[in-house]
Amino acid sequence: MGISVDVAWKSLNKHHEELCGDKVEVLKTADSDIVILADGMGSGVKANILATLTSKILGTMLFNGATIESCVETIAKTLPVCKVREVAYATFSILQIFRNGEAYLVEFDNPSCIFIRDHKVQSYPYEERNIEGKQIHEYRFRVELGDYFVLMSDGVLYAGPGDFLNFGWTWDSMAKAAIRCLSEEISASRLAVSLADTCDELYGHRPGDDTTVAVMHVIPRQIVNIFTGPPENKEDDERVVKSFMKQEGKKVVSGGTSANITARVLGKEIYTSLKDYDPKVPPMALIEGIDLVTEGVLTLGLALKLLKKYVKKEIDATFFEELDKNNGASKLAKMLIEECTEIHLFVGKAMNVAHRNSNLPFDLSIRMNLVEQLEEVAEKMGKSVTIQYF
């Protein structure tokens, strides 16, 4: 089947708390994607430590091939039951989606996952098991392209003004809110932010509990190819462009010289686009057969700022307004965040006098530094990255 998964989450800290008592861990194995959402008992530092411990233990063990039984057993022995409340110190959900379409979900005392297919909430049978005295719900099923899965901490279900009343906000309410958000297919990050913002509004922007929404969206493999910087040897121009153009997926050319090389090799015209021109970002250009043509260093730098905000989870409605703007930086960032699972970079190593401080070696030049930053931030976003230098 060869599927990929778009993963995102958004957390709200309990009002007046600097640390969140929920923790999300995302892992990629050779054949699957795993999301772990752990909810530490209480709030603040103690809850944060408990949730972090739980998610890290589960993640490390699962990544190394441990069974769910041994994972739960380790958690049970590491995090004892609270003597006062007689409940576990941390609850968790684990969703693993394999590249072949198989999926596996384990829930321990977290609200149930919301399964959405074709704009409808689905239900799957689960097996109830007792492991180390803990009641575990275990699901096995197959996914399809377009499926969404929403994991949540219990703060989601408590959402409402006041300490004890949520005015009827329930799991069903959350599921209906998710369906409303999906009137058209959107990215995992937009759905997670929208649902978390809904909870925040219900809490009157003073959350009474740590609240986390994590989304997995099943998508096809999506490749973005980026050509930036002229090759070191001019005679390689044609080879680089032909190699770039024969790749599967979207094509982005970043940089004026790179655009001129591409147009010349392809025998196409370049047209500068001043439609809805944003004075803060250099204008885009158009080349037939290329999905996006931008200026180089400035545009890459501005796109990187947006990608870094995304990685730091500094995402809200304002972030997506910026992402939807009609300029080269926003379009590139949006493509890499929402329309991409793999990035292939074609990087020319020719000297660019305009960007070079003569006291620095070439590998510290601005363009090369931006490429390194792009590789680092893309990997943090869960994208696979390959780089070819010319």
Dump pLDDT digits (tens) for 7-41.
Answer: 999 999 999 999 999 999 999 998 999 999 999 98
In this prediction, residue 77 carries a pLDDT of 79
With 50 as the cut, is the pLDDT of residue 369 above it?
yes
The DSSP line for 232-259 is SSGGGHHHHHHHHHTSSSEEEEESHHHH
In this prediction, residue 84 carries a pLDDT of 62
- 389, containing H or E segment: strand 384-389
Query: For 54-97, how does the pLDDT look when each residue is reduced to its tens digit (9 = 90+)?
Result: 999 999 999 998 988 899 889 877 776 666 655 557 899 999 99
Secondary structure (3-state) at 310? helix
Structure confidence at residue 2 as a pLDDT band (50, 70, 90): confident
Given a contact cutoff of 8 angstroms between Cβ atoms, the answer to whether 97 and 218 are in contact is yes
With 90 as the cut, is the pLDDT of residue 385 above it?
yes
Please tell me the distance from the alpha carbon of residue 186 to that of residue 128, in angstroms, as a whole number: 33
Average pLDDT on 268-273 reads 93
In this prediction, residue 278 carries a pLDDT of 85
Question: Which residues have C-beta within 8 Å of that of residue 353, sequence separation ≥ 6?
Answer: none
250-254, strands of its sheet edge to edge: 271-273, 284-286, 292-294, 250-254, 223-228, 342-347, 384-389
Domains, the chain, with CATH or none: 3-220 (3.60.40.10), 223-389 (no CATH)
Q: What percent of the chain has pLDDT over 90?
A: 80
In this prediction, residue 362 carries a pLDDT of 42
Given a contact cutoff of 8 angstroms between Cβ atoms, the answer to whether 281 and 328 are in contact is yes
What's the pTM value of the predicted model, to 2 decimals? Answer: 0.90
Give, rounded to a whole angstrom, the gap between the first and last alpha carbons of the chain. Answer: 34
Query: Are β-strands 384-389 and 211-220 bridged in parallel, bridged antiparallel, or unpaired?
Result: unpaired
Query: For 275-300, how does the pLDDT look when each residue is reduced to its tens digit (9 = 90+)?
Result: 777 889 999 999 999 999 999 999 99
Distances (CA, A) of 55 to 36, 39, 241, 366: 6, 9, 45, 38
Question: Which of 125, 98, 91, 93 is closest to 33 using CA atoms?
Answer: 98
* Average predicted confidence (pLDDT) for the chain: 91
In this prediction, residue 363 carries a pLDDT of 40
The sign of the CA dihedral 381, 383, 389, 390 is negative
Q: What percent of the chain has pLDDT over 70?
A: 92
Average pLDDT on 293-311 reads 96
Question: Which of 41, 33, 80, 73 is closest to 57 using CA atoms?
Answer: 73
With 70 as the cut, is the pLDDT of residue 334 above it?
yes
Query: For 143-188, how does the pLDDT look when each residue is reduced to its tens digit (9 = 90+)?
Result: 999 999 999 999 999 987 655 555 679 999 999 999 999 988 999 9
Please tell me the distance from the alpha carbon of residue 213 to that of residue 217, in angstroms, as a whole number: 13
Adjacent-strand bridge partners of 387:
345
In this prediction, residue 167 carries a pLDDT of 63
- Give exposure, 209-243, as e/b (b: 16+ Cβ within 10 Å): bbbbbbbbbbbeebbbbbbbbbbeeeebbeebbeb
Out of 213-227, 235-249, 343-357, least confident range: 343-357
With 70 as the cut, is the pLDDT of residue 374 above it?
yes
In this prediction, residue 26 carries a pLDDT of 95
Average pLDDT on 311-332 reads 96
- Give exposure, 353-368, as e/b (b: 16+ Cβ within 10 Å): eebeeeeeeeeebbbb
In this prediction, residue 277 carries a pLDDT of 79
